[in-house]
Structure 1
Amino acid sequence: MSRRLIAATILTFTLFTIVILPSEAQEPGQGPVKVDGGHGLHVGFYAKTCPNVEDIVADVVKRVQQNDPKLPPALIRLFFHDCFVKGCDASILLDTTASGGNRVEKTSTANGETLRGLEVIDEIKAELEKQCPQSVSCADILAYAAREAVVLAGLPRHNVPAGRRDSRTSRSDDADENLPTARTPLNDLIHIFARRNFTVEEMVVLSGAHSIGEAQCTQVTDRLYTFSPVVPRDPALDPAFANELAGKCPAEQPPGQALQFKVDFDTTTPLVLDNNYYLNLQKGRGLLQSDQVLAIDPGTRPFVDQMAASNEAWTKRFLKAMIKMGRINVLTKTEGEIRTNCRAVNPAQ
């Protein structure tokens, strides 16, 4: 099997293997994607209209995280999946749309039963509507919540430009058609990021979000039992790590229980965002094929080595890439709306 044809799986988000639609009217995969260079977004956007917004978000996320230690990767993944489908517009939060359709992004098989953290966004929005009615968009709440998740996972606080507005549309087909499967070739994944103005290095940097969180065993069982007709186990896997995974992931899960079988991306520091992800890749301990190939392919291996060499260097690049990602295809000014309920579009006036 060609190294560049090793499958890519959805990152944390299973995040990072995601395609963005340039606009709601454009066909998937056509043309460049707008990455806002500052138009309409700035730090301190709510200084006058809702000065406590960031504190409220931080307080709710921190309180919930105390009882749910795995909340941070869930919120980061939610943010990534929103931005990488058709832009950072909170379309992933909708239960229904302006047209009344209920086949929304969150029902896609690429999201579906694995999304978490939605109730946290609901709680934040409800509190903000009490204090600052019709002022703070769900898209900005999601960006702030992802920032707080990053902080709780151990990285420094970074400034989040705000001013995003919310989409009135959300289609499951957008996620179905634009979230690559486990068989997406690495070259295609690189192209996906390039269309969004992300370099190969930035793709590798963002992949470091797999330093925290977990994946379903269904994402790794093929590496353990059915890698190829002549080689059942992926030879790129460290043998001891493969045995460890096999002990947690049976070849077949009982019917209806697949979601209960999960494994951490990083067994060393599973709740801390750090460069252990890259150190694991160097040792053949990348959980997904789309992770491990980054340390194998000559086009991405140098960046893995750079990130593995310095946690500080990776941290700076990761936070910078997070801010850049939060500008993808945003709605600003008079575009979209500010929802009063993140799960539903506002009633027609």
Structure 2
Amino acid sequence: MAAPLRRLLLSLALLLAAATAPGAAAAAARLSTSYYSRSCPRVEQIVSDVVTAKQQANPSTAAGTLRLFFHDCFVSGCDASVLVSPLSTDRSPERAAEINLSLPGDAFDAVARAKAALEAACPGTVSCADILALAARDLVGILGGPRFPVYLGRRDARRSDATDVEGNLPRTNMSARAMAVLFARKGITPREMVALAGAHTVGFSHCSEFAHRVYGYRGDGYDPALNPAFARALRTSCAGYERDPTLSIFNDIVTPSVFDELYFKNLPRGLGLLASDAALWEYAPTRVFVQRYADNRTAFFDDFAAAMQRLGTVGVKTGRQGVVRRQCDVLD
């Protein structure tokens, strides 16, 4: 199939998918930045205080909470269904799905602590879904990233099922084209997708997630998209990963603890850790945004903030569509 025709078909697929996904504007209309102004006026300060303390004690909290927010919103909407503990239900919840097993405990604990503080201040008022959205925003800011308004009023899910997860989350070996189609199903554009990928400027990935790029790639080599020196360093650092599944590498090896544009600068240098990272540079429709953000931190921050707001409206439940759970890890 000729390249122009492939591009046309992809564009049509994205347009059709986006048209059938819930619109961000319609969903946001049901939310408000002042939702708790009377019922719990200190909600933002309480969440901020709790997650700041948690981040200071456990510096991996920020990246983990960002990932937790994304995994929650992309499966059944931003409804805190990913927070449900397998120990609290007879059915396997989203958290028990294979791709969610590596979600960090610090992130779950940050939300649980914020919920406990809010239950003391405003019992039965603030949803776990709203807490997670606020926590993700606050932790980005703590690491030097943009701060932006969070629209509130989400309700928590009444169900959580591991079978809902498959096919709804991107895999680390996905092509940019496949990811664009997946994101479009959620109403998220390729530009927003690339901006959200910038969250990989913080945090780490386990060696098992990119080992196929480093060991035995088409024989005994490594992925040629990798910088050769980087590939050799990864081989050394991840040696024995099959015996020790905790071995991991920072997603951004230059400024791993700062929310900045270095993730995007790394990609054309062959320093993208995951295959899905490298794919954003290799694919022309997304490369343009990678280059834009690599060249302009303000553009990245502005687009990331807007994309996070869009992400926070995916599949939201409001009013009687959901509940306000008293405990985030237990279904009411």
Same fold per superposition (TM over 0.5): yes
Which residue of the partner structure matches residue 75 of structure 1? 65
The 2-side partners of 1:283 and 1:177 are apart by 31
Structure 1 range deviating more: 220-229 or 49-58? 220-229
Aligned partner of 1:298 among 256, 265, 284: 284
1:107 aligns with 2:77: no
Deviation at 1:47, TM superposition (A): 0.5
Residues 96-135 of structure 1 deviation map (CA, whole Å, 9 limit, x = unaligned): 699x433001111101143331111111111111110110
Residues 192-216 of structure 1 deviation map (CA, whole Å, 9 limit, x = unaligned): 1122222211111111111000000
The 2-side partners of 1:49 and 1:252 are apart by 49
The 2-side partners of 1:209 and 1:61 are apart by 18
Deviant stretches of 4+, over 4 Å: none
Question: Is the contact between residue 225 and residue 251 of structure 1 (CA under 8 Å) also seen in structure 2?
Answer: no
Question: Is the contact between residue 173 and residue 276 of structure 2 (CA under 8 Å) also seen in structure 1?
Answer: no
Q: How does 1:1-349 map to 2 (within 5 A)?
A: 32-37=20-25, 38-95=28-85, 100-116=89-105, 117-229=107-219, 232-250=221-239, 252-254=241-243, 257-258=244-245, 260-346=246-332
Deviation at 1:36, TM superposition (A): 4.1
Deviation at 1:180, TM superposition (A): 4.0
Counterpart AA for 2:114: I
**Identity value in percent:** 38
Deviation at 1:321, TM superposition (A): 0.5
Gaps of 5+ in 2: 1-16
Change (3 A) 1:165 1:52: same
Change (3 A) 1:33 1:150: same
The 1-side partners of 2:163 and 2:284 are apart by 34
The 2-side partners of 1:63 and 1:182 are apart by 31
The 2-side partners of 1:97 and 1:91 are apart by 14
The 2-side partners of 1:197 and 1:137 are apart by 23
C-alpha root-mean-square deviation of aligned residues, in Å?
Answer: 1.9
Change (3 A) 1:30 1:286: closer
Deviation at 1:60, TM superposition (A): 0.5
Gaps of 5+ in 1: 1-28
Deviation at 1:342, TM superposition (A): 0.8
Question: Is the contact between residue 42 and residue 163 of structure 1 (CA under 8 Å) also seen in structure 2?
Answer: yes
The 1-side partners of 2:290 and 2:193 are apart by 11
Taking structure 2 as the reference length, what is the TM-score of the superposition? 0.89
Deviation at 1:68, TM superposition (A): 0.9
Q: Per the alignment, in what secondary structure is the counterpart of residue 263 of structure 1?
A: strand
Deviation at 1:31, TM superposition (A): 8.6
Q: Per the alignment, in what secondary structure is the counterpart of residue 227 of structure 1?
A: coil
